[in-house]
Structure 1
């Protein structure tokens, strides 16, 4: 999550009371919250409230389809996934330089609990792993998601396509799988793009992740990407 959620509406008002009023007005214009998601923190229920992007996502078809909440088993995996999707903006805007300063992103925990899950990293699903980790063709994953819902599956575990060593992600299909109603926000990472790749830094523990350009070149969208961008 990009760390701008607190100040986004404060810029438009002068007092806390005015901010609360503005938030209430904005809330009335939003789609209704699914019944099973009522009472959850907005960071949990938001993906179930809105339609998908025009091209959909790995386990969700485009349009007004049932929501999917994507999480990673490790914070660094979530940051790498975030950095990849940020980079796609520069793919579509080749003349835009990388920012000179890193962007800040908040990592929060998502406790889950379910007895209805499938693990695509284990057999028999792992025998078809190429279908689940294709960088651009989400068709098989979306078909699987529809079948999983009909069987009452709440969580799909799968390997991340974006990490150098395949780490585990999860697609949460139903709000009932959340074990708590709100997250604990406990890490702030910085993401910086430059000619040598992507750097993700968690300063509190001096943790750093570097993604070199060749790691993502298997994705056809980045095959000829120009990393030489001046500020």
Structure 2
């Protein structure tokens, strides 16, 4: 699940398709080069390996670690995970009451790599550390060990979806079985409020209460 504003944002400042193509080319040239193994990947798959992490890092990536691609077993779980980060951004912002609806693209990709599942023994004994709402020190340390062991992925319990569901962190671009995601994609609109996030698509909607995320602030 990714924000789908990359094309719409440039269309607002050009007058023709040719100008947009030129602008996109110039913007592409200003971006960091893809790391080894990601050169042939579609941008949807390569982007997480291309850019630096958030200042606080993420669950399996510290500020000094290589890129990590985060996926989930369903659109719902991916929406809960991404919705949390947008909600956290709203709460960290000054004088911002809500985030207006923004389009996001949900897509599916094939994976083929050695992976470890933290939900299974013996790793499940440390579930409290893996599923901490805000302290990622244990999971980041585990990811470094996994990389050293040539593992390409980590399966773990979703922390943001209130329903039991799994997520997967891909530690290397070589973990993808194919260079492109499946062509069938979905567009969902996300609006973020102080007490909840709401996803809408055509006649469907998903709402996640922020009550369960408050301990992560």
TM-score (norm 2): 0.90
Q: Considering only CA atoms, is the larger Rg found in Structure 1 or Structure 2?
A: 1
The corresponding residue for 2:83 is: 83
Cα deviation, 1:175-207, whole Å, max 9, x if unaligned, reads 11112211235212222345763322333xx44
5+ residue gaps in structure 1?
A: 222-231
The corresponding residue for 2:211 is: 214
Question: Which runs of structure 1 show a deviation greater than 4 angstroms over 4 or more consecutive aligned residues?
Answer: none
**RMSD after superposition:** 1.9
Cα deviation, 1:97-155, whole Å, max 9, x if unaligned, reads 224x53322111121112x1100111111110011110110001111111000110001
* Alpha-carbon distance in structure 1 between the residues aligned to 2:134 and 2:36: 32
Match of 1:218, SS state, is helix
Q: How many correspondences in the alignment?
A: 215
Contact 1:52 1:61 in 2 (8 A): yes
Match of 1:166, SS state, is coil
Contact 1:80 1:200 in 2 (8 A): no
Query: Does 1:38 find its partner at 2:39?
Result: yes
Residue 94 to residue 18, structure 1, CA distance change in 2 (3 Å): closer
Corresponding residue to 2:143 among 138, 142, 145: 145
Greater length-normalized contact order (CA 8 Å, ≥ 6 residues apart): 2
